[in-house]
Amino acid sequence: MKYFVLIPDGMADRPIPALFGKTPMKAASKPNMDALCKRSICGLSLNVPTSMVPESDTANLAILSYDPLVYSKGRSPLEAMSMGLTMADDDTAIRCNVVTLSEDEECYEDRIMLDHSADEISTEEADQLIKALNDGLADEEKHLYTGVSYRHCLLWKNADSKYPFDRPHDIIGQRIGDYLPKADNGGEAFLEFQKKGYEILKDHPVNLARKARGLRPANSPWLWSPGTKPALPSFFDKWGKRGAIISAVDLIKGIGICAGMEVIDVEGATGNCHTNYTGKANAAINCFKDGCDFVYVHVEGPDECGHRGEIENKVMSIEKIDELILGPVYDYLTSCGEDFRILVLPDHPTPIEIRTHSSEHVPFFLFDSKKAQEGPSTFNEDTARESGTVINDGSTLLDLMIKG
């Protein structure tokens, strides 16, 4: 038996007036999802416990059967593992976005969060900015490491691993003063880091060149999601399956590394809607050919479009995932003559309306090549809800998929 899990990150949404009251899932042409859903168990799954923030680390840990209430230690340590960083026991990993703040205000606290991704800055440009921040701010206690695009990692010895930072993608369009680290709750050093970082980046040649090209500058670091050294039980020991993970995102790769799974890099995989969809499908197929029993493909595009409020691109990314990933992998598995199961679901919703993650259940379908079910004729939020099947603990999904 082969197992294929496809995660269109943030695909679930809410009705959008510009789509005549449809969600992007409803508006998208996705014949492969719809055809498989019609022969599948379909329903809703809650992947993030109600007591936790709806983030990709908690949601993907759950889908991979690791209860986030037990195993989540923040997304940054997982990203650090993916980047090949060695964390000491006294290290705290902290995500460091390079973001775009407004520049007309005199006071840092009065600036507005314009973009959590600085127009999805290139990794090459961001690397120069991270080097500049290290030149000005790094010391024996702390050091920055370049990740992908706007996503980077700060290792800081003995820093507060539970500090309640605010997420930059939650405050787009808002004055940052109410969301900055506070001196009265132990955040003074974090605030100083961000303010000094702004002074280093605002007139950096990379940002001056970006503004000259009509792009947003990455003019400030923004710290969030701290955590300590992670540890997960082996996926193989847990399930007896050789597993692989395919993603452009360090967070997801880090989960795979910590779980002892094979982590596959795909050339041209970007973490946004303009990614190498075909390359991800081919990588999944090659994993199965190489003897993997379980392949997990994560696609970030719908989530980034949700954060950026890009309706047409979100619809497009869903269509590309359906056509260029699900279709070819299904065709390959069908041709092999071996039984297989396919699970498709977003990890969490990322509604265009709010441009951040939300905590609702997400739609899923589980297809079994041996046993056709009577599912809805199309796959979306409403048909999944109307099915009546509800899983309130997403960490049990693989029990349903693997054990049956």
**What tokens does 50 get?**
């109600």
Say what the pLDDT of residue 183 is.
84
Picking from 303, 255, 262, the residue whose alpha carbon sits closest to that of residue 283 is 262
pLDDT at 271 > cutoff 90: no
Give the tens place of pLDDT for each residue, 331-348. 999 999 999 999 999 999
Clarify whether residues 118 and 223 are in a common domain.
Answer: yes
80 lies in a domain? no
CATH number for the domain spanning 299: value is: 3.40.720.10
In one letter, which amino acid is 245? I
Same domain, 237 and 222: no
Buried b (16+ CB within 10 A) or exposed e, 226-244: bbbbbebeebeebbebbbb
**Who's near 373: CB < 8 A, 6+ residues apart?**
39, 40, 41, 42
| pLDDT of 280 | 98
Look at strands 390-391 and 41-45 and give their pairing.
parallel
> Of 181, 196, 227, which residue is a domain's last?
227
pLDDT tens for residues 215-268?
999 999 999 999 998 889 999 999 999 999 999 999 999 999 999 999 999 999
Give the tens place of pLDDT for each residue, 276-320.
999 999 999 999 999 999 999 999 999 999 999 999 999 999 999
Spatial CA neighbour of 157 closest among 220, 228, 223: 228
pLDDT at residue 352 above 90?
A: yes
Q: How confident is the model at residue 170 (pLDDT cuts 50, 70, 90)?
A: very high
- Give the DSSP letter string of 18-55: GGTTB-HHHHS--HHHHHHHTTSEEEEE--S-TTS---
117 lies in some domain? yes
Q: What's the rounded Cα separation, in Å, for the pair 322 and 37? A: 12
Whether the per-residue pLDDT at 12 is higher than 90: the answer is yes
At residue 185, the pLDDT reads 87
Count Cα atoms within 13 angstroms, Cβ side, for 119.
12
Q: Which whole-number Å values give the CA distances from 252 to 86, 128, 172, 207, 226, in the listed order?
A: 17, 25, 24, 29, 16
How much is the pLDDT for 74?
80
pLDDT at 371: 93
Number of domains within the chain: 2
Task: Examine the domain organization and report whether 113 and 125 are in the same domain.
Answer: yes
Q: Is residue 83 part of a domain?
A: no
* 101 in Cβ contact with 220 (< 8 Å): yes
Compute the distance between CA of residue 103 and CA of residue 126 in angstroms, rounded to an integer: 19
The answer to whether residue 77 is domain-embedded is no
Question: Is the distance from CB of 246 to CB of 264 less than 8 angstroms?
Answer: yes
Same domain, 31 and 144: no
Over the stretch 64-115, which tens digit does the pLDDT of each residue have? Answer: 999 999 998 888 999 999 899 999 999 999 999 999 999 999 999 999 999 9
User: Which of 180, 199, 227 is the endpoint of a domain?
Assistant: 227
Q: What is the pLDDT of residue 204?
A: 98
CB 272 within 8 A of CB 300: yes
Could you tell me the maximum CA-CA distance found in the chain, to the nearest angstrom?
67
Q: Based on the fold, state whether residues 195 and 167 are members of the same structural domain.
A: yes
Q: How far is CA 299 from CA 10, 137, 276, 333, 353, in A?
A: 9, 34, 10, 20, 21
In the prediction, which pLDDT does 231 show?
85
- 182 plus 329 within the same structural domain: no
For residues 358 and 250, state if they share a domain.
Answer: yes
Domain range spanning residue 288? 2-70+231-403
Residues in the chain: 404
Shared-domain flag, residues 308 and 396: yes
Domain boundary among the residues 164, 199, 227 is at 227
Average pLDDT over residues 37-42: 98
130-166 pLDDT, tens digit each: 999 999 999 999 999 999 999 999 999 999 999 999 9
In a shared domain, residues 356 and 249:
yes
Residues 222 and 247 in one domain: no
Q: Are residues 43 and 144 in the same domain?
A: no
Average pLDDT over residues 108-133: 97
355-373 pLDDT tens trace = 999 999 999 999 999 998 9
* Pairwise CA distance, residues 218 & 395, whole Å: 37
User: What's the DSSP call for residue 180?
Assistant: S
Task: Tell me, yes or no, whether 390 and 249 share the same domain.
Answer: yes
Q: What is the pLDDT of residue 310?
A: 96
